[in-house]
Structure 1
């Protein structure tokens, strides 16, 4: 969004920001092949009809460190301040560690970091490549702003941190940004398409980056203490000696696609889900639920309950986003004989 269009300090912007934060709070209570953005052969009349559900459970932990945001319609709270293709929606999942402070802080300020401080861009078409690049830059800046803000805020412990995954929908354009080990999985014709990469020390590319920055991986943990290589906060691990780059970074990675009628729903889940099941297994659980009752809220709960049944040991949060008013009638059987690995 252009800074000249609406000043961040103006009453209109403050009112919109309060409305968006209220909407987010209310909602919480309750390797992908990228398609050519300028040469899609899909029927142009397809427009996602977005609805979602979410569910969280403390699991077998003594405290809850997950936070999430679920906004199916950004135009309602932002109004004319958001000039982007419609429908427009925003989802985020923050999986905290070292206490709940960092995840709660990022959730509380996410709207300001993304739509105010990052100067969110405007466009009339999701096929505008300049718009796509601008959105990625804004989201990247929002992640880094949130990370730096926690370094300066005395209410957040320097040993507290959080992973962060955000998903934005503008018209048919879906953009996922991830730093950490939450995961977003798109169901495309019954098949799981991973829209994010888990940032764990055991992954070769992340391990190489960590070691180039002077860090080390011991028993699957960054510097022997952290199970992820990207996170917001954790500033006691981000002050390396002699000004060298930190092995732990808040830089997100992006994946995006143009949604079509083949895309049924998106699952966003914390690592407690993926510790005990594959992406395809999760897609099959949600798909089965949608066939029975067509309720994304119940599907989110059923996926959490399945992870508990499989003896996950972590906090659990799931968001399920459907891209049509009635998903059940669109679901086609997956080819027989295909296995569903756990």
Structure 2
């Protein structure tokens, strides 16, 4: 087993690609249906021929919506495919505005067309006094295939709808005192006389997002034997609900608010490095998951047989600091988490720790399942939209890791602010232009002497799929833009940066 992992870790640390994901699939995978055929986001309105052109790894065309009112609040969006890492763009994105009537049934949740939600609500006569209204943006960064990202982009918002509807009567209360009075009366009617916790509306929305993410992962687990759902994906959701912005993140995509010169991070990048304690502690509690081949201990350096009997700095699962440990035979197992920076891997296989899918993923040439160490549960951060009066230049930037691999929060803010200054505040395309400029800077240009894709400062640019939303915060109380897929504008050509 040790020899098996030598090449894996060597690849991870030596700059070569990691061992591909190994999955258990039916004997005839072609017998499985494809639930969602590969496509680019609906709001781009691309023809099948144009979708093929987007996969050109040589020119890497930057895609933007040509009809900006197809996105809520005329938000900006841009994307570009990778530089040959995978055949298709494995990123996906979704943006919708919802009015959910208090009396709506599950019929609405079964609709798939973006405009259906808007149309059904228009037929209610426009009485929205008892409705849940929210706006939804999401980015899904796929890996080892497009299946999980496509599944999530077409389905996650329905799980969120269902979970919000479960607590709609509480969310529709005028204040939290009345909401807790209702809960108290329900407990009394159920003959529950024990003390109860006070509940906030924020905690209900957070709970809806957290359980919806788990529901999404469970659906993929159930349907992977019926439908062809390849790989996994990370997920980043921005939910504008009431006077609050809720950002739910499971993975290494990132959301940042830019308010004037102020930078407000709205998510945490979850990586094997940042999640070392959670993953190592699970390995400590359930050593059977490691099959006696890995160790939850972390040494300052990779230990070898010649180190037996020597004292080397080490730390245990929940430790931040280091202590000296005398190396023993059992310490020669491969570390549960090993590598440096972006090349750090869980069980020498995967570089992400949260998201959807990967249910059949195993360590190379073994029966060690990796899914127990991966979590679909998101971190949810809340931003009060009434905390200040936002200007037209106050924005939320959401991006996949292809953007943030080469851009700092400061770089991103500078690039977006400079581009926004080129437009008057009432120009519809200003946020789309800023998104295109941001993605263009991260993608860079193909070096004429064969040195690959480079940024303006001659640093290597992002070779990954890149996706970015730029969402104006000042538009929260403005009428939402209609998302009409039936009469959508088809771009005449792709934008080639």
Please give the TM-score of this superposition, normalised by the length of structure 1.
Answer: 0.73
Distance (whole Å) between structure 2 residues aligned to residue 247 and residue 180 of structure 1:
13
Distance (whole Å) between structure 2 residues aligned to residue 152 and residue 159 of structure 1:
13
Distance (whole Å) between structure 2 residues aligned to residue 305 and residue 157 of structure 1:
33
Q: Deviations over 1:28-64 (max 9, x none)?
A: 543xxxxxxxxxxxxxxxxxx9441211110313321
Other-structure match for 2:236: 165
Distance (whole Å) between structure 2 residues aligned to residue 126 and residue 317 of structure 1:
38
Give the C-alpha shift of residue 279 in structure 1: 1.1
Other-structure match for 1:339: none
Distance (whole Å) between structure 1 residues aligned to residue 159 and residue 362 of structure 2:
21
Q: Which runs of 5+ in 1 are unaligned?
A: 1-23, 31-48, 326-342
Structure 1 pair 192–82 and aligned structure 2 pair: CA distance change class (3 A)? farther
Distance (whole Å) between structure 2 residues aligned to residue 298 and residue 185 of structure 1:
18
Give the C-alpha shift of residue 301 in structure 1: 1.0
Give the C-alpha shift of residue 287 in structure 1: 1.5
Other-structure match for 1:305: 440
Preserved CA contact (<8 Å) 1:167 1:177: yes
Distance (whole Å) between structure 2 residues aligned to residue 258 and residue 126 of structure 1:
17
Preserved CA contact (<8 Å) 1:158 1:235: no
Residue among 401, 405, 414 paired with 1:284: 414
Other-structure match for 1:333: none
Residue among 389, 414, 420 paired with 1:261: 389
Indicate the larger mover: 236-245 or 123-132: 236-245
Q: Find the residue that maps to 2:354 and give its secondary structure.
A: coil
Aligned CA-pair RMSD? 3.2
Alignment of 1:37-52 (within 5 A): 50-52=73-75
Preserved CA contact (<8 Å) 1:94 1:165: yes
Other-structure match for 1:113: 159
Structure 1 pair 172–156 and aligned structure 2 pair: CA distance change class (3 A)? same
Q: Find the residue that maps to 1:186 and give its secondary structure.
A: strand
Number of matched residues? 281
Other-structure match for 2:373: 247
Distance (whole Å) between structure 2 residues aligned to residue 289 and residue 72 of structure 1:
26
Give the C-alpha shift of residue 156 in structure 1: 5.3
Other-structure match for 2:218: 148
Indicate the larger mover: 247-256 or 183-192: 183-192
1:218 aligns with 2:338: yes
Other-structure match for 2:277: 208
Structure 1 pair 238–212 and aligned structure 2 pair: CA distance change class (3 A)? farther
1:70 aligns with 2:95: yes
Structure 1 pair 213–83 and aligned structure 2 pair: CA distance change class (3 A)? same
Please give the TM-score of this superposition, normalised by the length of structure 2.
Answer: 0.51
Indicate the larger mover: 130-139 or 71-80: 71-80
Question: Which has more radius of gyration?
Answer: 2
Structure 1 pair 177–51 and aligned structure 2 pair: CA distance change class (3 A)? same
Other-structure match for 2:138: 92
Q: Find the residue that maps to 1:148 and give its secondary structure.
A: helix
Structure 1 pair 81–226 and aligned structure 2 pair: CA distance change class (3 A)? farther
Preserved CA contact (<8 Å) 2:147 2:230: no
Structure 1 pair 89–125 and aligned structure 2 pair: CA distance change class (3 A)? farther
Other-structure match for 1:27: 43
1:178 aligns with 2:178: no
Residue among 266, 269, 280 paired with 1:198: 269
Q: Which runs of 5+ in 2 are unaligned?
A: 1-39, 46-64, 66-71, 101-116, 122-127, 177-198, 284-289, 291-335, 445-454, 456-460, 476-497
Give the C-alpha shift of residue 161 in structure 1: 0.2
Distance (whole Å) between structure 2 residues aligned to residue 299 and residue 106 of structure 1:
27
Indicate the larger mover: 222-231 or 74-83: 74-83
Q: Find the residue that maps to 1:246 and give its secondary structure.
A: helix
1:322 aligns with 2:472: yes
Structure 1 pair 74–28 and aligned structure 2 pair: CA distance change class (3 A)? farther
Distance (whole Å) between structure 1 residues aligned to residue 367 and residue 246 of structure 2:
35
Other-structure match for 1:36: none
Give the C-alpha shift of residue 202 in structure 1: 1.4
Structure 1 pair 155–273 and aligned structure 2 pair: CA distance change class (3 A)? farther
Structure 1 pair 231–244 and aligned structure 2 pair: CA distance change class (3 A)? closer
Indicate the larger mover: 133-142 or 149-158: 149-158
